[in-house]
Structure 1
């Protein structure tokens, strides 16, 4: 990969993880003996082509420093500038890093609670996108029948799944483009980084992801994530 282009992995981790139903933010829940976020950080630290791993925390986060991060060395950056939403946290993280990275550099935004990213999947994504002017995201084609409801309890209609993809992370985008897009708009309609670029008319590429690239959202996801991690050993 071209040495002149730098790559930063940015992990927004300022959320409370309310859907897990506990008081501990989900990124700090135990997964195979370590907090989820530690597994996630390690995925990027183990890739030598990632120049920096930046974790965006809320200003009052009291959990992160309780863990041993020495394995990450000097490539780990802790940014206590998290916002009220994912988009705001990413925007604030990009602001904090703007003096160190150029427009054409890459930022790989990844869910802190998505700890099962495969090493080969990450490498293949970086190779596929390295010459793209915009970048792209990991995603998988929607396989299940989709239903729309109007009241949360009854089916209103079946939604055609043709050409529909389920977004994953990392979302690997040009640093300058994403910075500009989120400075213009990081409101409620921006549910992932690609959607911010879409608002400006850009079309990020879809890169085939994997069902194993699981995001821990509910407590029932933890046993499955542990099985995936153990299968890689």
Structure 2
């Protein structure tokens, strides 16, 4: 069996409007290091052969360089500027990647939110392993809360929470699936990469996620993440 090459695209172009602070959320410190650096380090720690492509807002470039110098951050990566939406940011990274790779047959590409700093080595390994076999691997966890949906007429109703999955990243795919799927025009329903793949008609393979793999969105999330990062 051919040895597969692995990439991860780490998307970090957000402005963090819900963080009650002008500093982009990916640059906030978590236990002495910017959140984004924790996310990058997780993939480098798991497998140093994984090639990292970092997507940031062009306006944040100088700020990011200053942080790398301040924290002596030297993990290798390639930099791409983001687009109008997450879809466009990922597409920019894929176009950059496909210019470097002449063959997509033995290539796996993970896509990860830069503000999920607690991603575990186990989830990373399982995601790439499952994507190699099934073409895609999407980590998810079940909801622990009761769930209600709001209908178009404004009414709401309860649904079985066991039928609801909370989707996480990294979402890993065979490269040819991503290349074909990202030829589509953007739609508002494209909230993650799995939704783009699914729209192209490809099946989505769900794997076990991790309850600790939270997406940093609010200031309190940093406090929660810091507790989970404490040595046991």
Q: TM-score, normalised by structure 1?
A: 0.89
Stretch moving more, 61-70 or 135-144: 61-70
The whole-number CA distance in structure 2 between the counterparts of 1:130 and 1:27 is: 30
Which residue does 1:11 correspond to in 2? 10
Moved more, 47-56 or 205-214: 47-56
Look up the match of 1:209. 209
Partner of 2:144: 143
- Confirm or deny: 8 A CA contact 2:11 2:56 kept in the other structure: yes
Q: What RMSD in Å do the two structures reach over aligned CA positions?
A: 2.1
26-35 vs 51-60, which moves further: 51-60
1:119 paired residue number: 121
- Map 1:16-35; keep pairs closer than 5 Å: 16-35=15-34
1:1-233 alignment to 2 at 5 Å?
Answer: 4-48=3-47, 50-61=49-60, 62-68=62-68, 71-73=73-75, 75-79=76-80, 81-101=81-101, 102-104=103-105, 105-132=107-134, 134-149=135-150, 156-231=156-231
Task: Report the count of equivalent residues.
Answer: 226
Change (3 A) 1:39 1:225: same
- Retained in 2: the 8 A contact 1:15–1:85? no
Change (3 A) 1:176 1:28: same
- Alpha-carbon deviation of 1:209? 0.6
| Distance of aligned partners of 1:231 and 1:3 in 2 relative to their CA distance in 1, 3 Å threshold | farther
Distance apart, 1:58 and its partner CA:
1.7
Cα deviation for residue 125 of structure 1 reads 2.5
The alpha-carbon deviation at position 202 of structure 1 amounts to 0.9
Alignment gaps of 5+ in structure 1: none
Return the offset for 1:51: 2.5
Q: Secondary structure at the match of 1:214?
A: coil
| TM-score of the superposed pair, with normalisation by structure 2 | 0.89
The Cα of 1:3 is off from its aligned counterpart by 5.8
Mark the runs of 5 or more structure 2 residues left unpaired by the alignment. Answer: none
Q: Could you tell me how far 1:195 is from its partner in structure 2?
A: 0.3
